Homo-oligomer: A and B are copies of this chain.
Amino acid sequence: MLKKSFLSASVALATLASSAAFAVEHIDLLIKDATVLTMNADKAVYENGVVAVSGNKIVAVGDESLSEAYQAKTVLDVDGDIVMPGLINTHTHASMTVFRSLGDDVPDRLHRYIFPLESQLVSRDMVRIGAQLGNVEMLKGGVTTYADMYYFEDEVAKTVDKIGMRAILGETVIRFPVADAANAEEGIQYALNFIKEYKDHPRITPAFAPHAPYTNTTEVLQKITKLSLEHDVPVMIHLAESERENEVIAERSGGKSPVEYMADIGALTPNLVGAHVINVDEHDIALLKKHDVGIAHNMSANIKSAKGVSPALKMFDDGLRIGLGTDGPMSGNTLSTVDEFNQVAKVHKLVNKDRAAMPPIKVIEMATMGAARALHMEDKIGSLETGKLADIIVIDTKAPNMVPMYNPYSALVYSAYASNVKHAIVDGQLLMQERDILTVDEDKVRQEALQFADKVRETVIASGEEVR
């Protein structure tokens, strides 16, 4: 996986005193001279820190003295740059990159614009082409794990397998006919086949993705809940997101909120990850906590669509499982949670009328351990700790916007661009080096997306809408 140039340009072989009295451990990768943000329970930061990796696992994290204990095949001296857990994007629709910047501010866009467009254009090809581009964008923005909801998720899985990232991929179930299923029952069947195929993949977790409570029947939601517990797979759903959802569910349930309704039908379980979760009150929040539900907080998309601000800070402070997500590229519109940092910190300050609200360290926790907890993966990823999977990113602290750096959390939240991510390691493998992705051909990915975009333009024009 390592390119020759990486070995010669950025890496020096460890030169350890051969006279050392103790036995050195042979490992694969040693990252040194790092500002290590561990994001462990103590939020330990090592100023001249070291991270040791063997195989796909982290074997040690600590200060510079640690480097003497290891003989590594590859030593990466990052010259003071930030080394932190790979970012976890808890909610997106990666394949929709092919539609990005189309009809952005059209009212009732989902029902008037997106669904009709999808009914004509979603195909195995579209899903593959869009996911490829989304993967490249996410990895370049430091996202090492993402949670996706879309169609033909087996195609998304192939792209994730190829680039080397980690993902939870949720196959959509919805009551009307879509590209890969004529109805919800066929959607469930598609998901079951996908789950069977990918259940044992080391980096891919297959999942159910019922679109939302209001776009599925009670029976379907209950069936999915039962199957998810049987197969021990996640369920991802848009939850408490829109006025329309509130109305449909209130009518269906005799005035209940979407969260209350989901609790009543037995669909709130620790396998569930709810995206958005804007329209919730204290009682709803207590229910989500009681049932140990994970939550994706998508600030950028929620304010762009003027849907409002989720009480994410309260949910975080109340100890709920909550992490950052970008939502899809027609909503957010970018796919790195670095792009959320700034907005999450500032908009919560604004709505709380308090500049001390949502400090940078909470934002970074919601991007790492909080997101891992939201996906119930906190035992595997989300922090740099011995025994965890080696999903690690390096942030360039020499870019002018990152200079100087008195507080690395502040620098990340208020100053960093997704493009400041320099290297990315997933499952112990270096996937991006000096912003160059090593596992896929970026130019080819872009060309395929541009070709598909021409088809999108033709389709929009043929439908009588403007390309706007």
CB within 8 Å of B: which residues of A? 97-98, 100-105, 107, 109, 133, 136-137, 140-141, 300, 303-306, 308-309, 332-336, 339, 342-343, 345-347, 349-350, 352-357, 359-360, 398-401, 403-407, 410-411, 414-415, 417-420, 442, 445-446, 449-450, 452-453, 456-457, 467-468
**Cα distance A420–B419 in the bound complex, in angstroms:** 9
Which B residues are in CB contact (< 8 Å) with A349?
303-306
Contact A403 to B133, CB < 8 A, known contacts A306-B349, A417-B418, A418-B417: yes
Residue pair B398, A352 in contact (C-beta under 8 Å): no
Which B residues are in CB contact (< 8 Å) with A105?
355-356, 359-360, 410
Which B residues are in CB contact (< 8 Å) with A304?
345-346, 349, 355, 414
Complex: chain B residue closest to A300, CB-CB: B346
Would you list 13 pairs from A and B whose C-beta atoms are within 8 A, ordered by A residue? A101-B410, A101-B411, A133-B400, A133-B403, A300-B346, A306-B357, A333-B415, A400-B445, A403-B449, A403-B453, A406-B456, A407-B467, A419-B420
**Cα distance A420–B418 in the bound complex, in angstroms:** 11
* Known A107-B356, A137-B400, A404-B453; 5 more pairs at CB < 8 Å: A103-B406, A140-B400, A403-B449, A417-B418, A419-B420
**Cα distance A103–B360 in the bound complex, in angstroms:** 11
Residue pair B355, A446 in contact (C-beta under 8 Å): no
Residue pair A404, B347 in contact (C-beta under 8 Å): no
A321 to chain B, nearest CB (A): 25
Residue pair A355, B400 in contact (C-beta under 8 Å): no
**Cα distance A215–B13 in the bound complex, in angstroms:** 59
10 tightest Cβ-Cβ pairs between the two chains A and B: A404-B453, A137-B400, A333-B414, A101-B410, A419-B419, A303-B350, A303-B346, A102-B406, A306-B355, A306-B349
**Cα distance A418–B304 in the bound complex, in angstroms:** 20
Which B residues are in CB contact (< 8 Å) with A334?
401, 414-415
**Cα distance A4–B436 in the bound complex, in angstroms:** 26
**Cα distance A304–B305 in the bound complex, in angstroms:** 21
A447 to chain B, nearest CB (A): 10
**Cα distance A102–B407 in the bound complex, in angstroms:** 7
Complex: chain B residue closest to A304, CB-CB: B346
Which B residues are in CB contact (< 8 Å) with A357?
306
Complex: chain B residue closest to A411, CB-CB: B101
Which B residues are in CB contact (< 8 Å) with A305?
349, 355
Residue pair A101, B400 in contact (C-beta under 8 Å): no
Contact A467 to B356, CB < 8 A, known contacts A333-B414, A346-B303, A418-B401: no
**Cα distance A303–B360 in the bound complex, in angstroms:** 14
Residue pair A467, B406 in contact (C-beta under 8 Å): yes
Specify which of B308, B415, B442 is in contact with A101 (CB 8 Å cutoff): B415
A307 to chain B, nearest CB (A): 8
**Cα distance A414–B304 in the bound complex, in angstroms:** 9
Residue pair B136, A400 in contact (C-beta under 8 Å): yes
**Cα distance A374–B403 in the bound complex, in angstroms:** 29
Contact A450 to B404, CB < 8 A, known contacts A306-B352, A347-B303, A411-B101: yes
Residue pair B410, A353 in contact (C-beta under 8 Å): no
Complex: chain B residue closest to A349, CB-CB: B306
A333 to chain B, nearest CB (A): 4
Which B residues are in CB contact (< 8 Å) with A347?
303, 347, 350
Residue among A104, A305, A347, A360 with max Cβ neighbours from chain B (10 Å):
A104
Which B residues are in CB contact (< 8 Å) with A467?
406-407
Which B residues are in CB contact (< 8 Å) with A107?
355-356
Complex: chain B residue closest to A404, CB-CB: B453
**Cα distance A309–B350 in the bound complex, in angstroms:** 8
**Cα distance A414–B339 in the bound complex, in angstroms:** 10
Specify which of B100, B350, B405, B452 is in contact with A308 (CB 8 Å cutoff): B350
**Cα distance A136–B346 in the bound complex, in angstroms:** 25
Which B residues are in CB contact (< 8 Å) with A133?
400, 403
Which B residues are in CB contact (< 8 Å) with A350?
303, 306, 308-309, 347
